[in-house]
């Protein structure tokens, strides 16, 4: 009887303390490990705090466990598929593009879904003439309907397996500007399997080249090196997503030093993706 009593006591202790006697509480099923593209001027912990604050304001029942930064979309997708993160944060048009392959699905209750980032061209601060030319061309494209048509053709109606190719015109004797492309934001910034840049941003460049009378040389660069490539004169222009003022996130959260942004030419909100169940 003493042996049986002792065994029962051991079992009771195991049940109270958990396997191995650990006092750690398992994480809640509501907690989420969220993958994001790295921001220049904040940390993973600060980004989590900002996101948690947005969740509270939106009265969502979502708990973030951690935010993990990635240098580019490809490594972020690998993190999702290896269960390093549970969800990834991407722009809505990118989410729609990726979901077309049937591997991912959107996650509801995303605190950033009501906020919209603006897409611009980033140039060096002292390159005022180029910025003025880009601004003028973008404003003209908005006024004459060209921009709306490009959005329709290359984003709204574009199919992931049939993205239209783009030919950028060459103007004899015209000056050349170097534009960085990463291929890391389809269908906006996209490089096809054969190495040809395509997608909405390239279509934008083709139209702008005609309007400002300059030739465009596309330079493939790594997503994480965009700011450094611009600052070092390796390129003259890079695509950039800008956090607007007054949307509950600091507007300088991802702005490099020494740059100016053009007039915005596209806006998009954020979706979260997970592996399709």
Task: Identify which of 237, 164, 236, 239 has the alpha carbon closest to the alpha carbon of residue 201.
Answer: 239
141 burial (CB, 10 Å; 0-12 / 13-18 / 19+) is buried
Task: Identify which of 125, 152, 119 has the alpha carbon closest to the alpha carbon of residue 138.
Answer: 119
pLDDT at residue number 248? 65
Decide if 69 contacts 36 (C-beta within 8 A): yes
pLDDT at residue number 27? 41
From CA 175, how far away is CA 216, in angstroms rounded? 9
- Tens of pLDDT along the chain (277 residues) come to 433 334 333 333 333 334 344 343 444 556 889 999 998 889 999 999 988 888 888 888 888 889 999 999 999 999 999 999 999 999 999 999 998 878 999 998 787 777 788 899 999 999 999 999 999 999 999 999 999 999 999 999 888 877 777 888 899 999 999 999 988 889 998 888 887 888 999 999 999 999 999 999 999 998 888 999 999 999 999 999 887 655 567 778 888 889 999 999 999 999 999 999 8
């Amino acid at each position: 009887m003493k042996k049986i009593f002792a065994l029962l006591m051991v079992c009771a202790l195991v049940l109270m303390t958990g396997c191995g006697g650990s006092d750690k509480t398992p994480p809640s099923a509501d907690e989420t490990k969220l993958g994001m593209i790295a921001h220049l001027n904040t940390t993973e912990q600060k980004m989590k705090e900002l996101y948690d604050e947005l969740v509270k304001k939106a009265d969502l029942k979502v708990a973030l466990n951690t935010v993990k930064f990635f240098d580019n979309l490809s490594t972020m997708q690998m993190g999702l598929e290896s269960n390093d993160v549970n969800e990834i944060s991407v722009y809505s048009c990118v989410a729609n593009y990726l979901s077309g392959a049937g591997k991912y699905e959107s996650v509801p209750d995303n605190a950033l879904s009501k906020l919209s980032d603006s897409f611009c061209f980033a140039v060096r601060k002292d390159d005022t003439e180029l910025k003025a030319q880009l601004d003028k061309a973008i404003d003209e494209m908005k006024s004459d309907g060209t921009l709306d048509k490009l959005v329709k053709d290359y984003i709204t109606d574009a199919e992931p397996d049939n993205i239209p190719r783009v030919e950028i015109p060459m103007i004899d004797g015209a000056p050349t500007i170097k534009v960085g492309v990463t291929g890391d934001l389809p269908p906006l910034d996209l490089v096809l399997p054969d190495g040809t840049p395509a997608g909405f941003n390239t279509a934008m460049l083709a139209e702008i080249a005609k309007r400002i009378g300059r030739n465009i040389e596309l330079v493939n660069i790594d997503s994480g090196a965009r700011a450094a490539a611009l600052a070092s004169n390796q390129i003259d222009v890079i695509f950039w997503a800008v956090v607007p003022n007054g949307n509950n996130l600091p507007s300088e959260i991802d702005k490099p030093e020494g740059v100016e942004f053009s007039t915005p030419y596209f806006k998009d909100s954020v979706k979260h993706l997970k592996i399709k169940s």
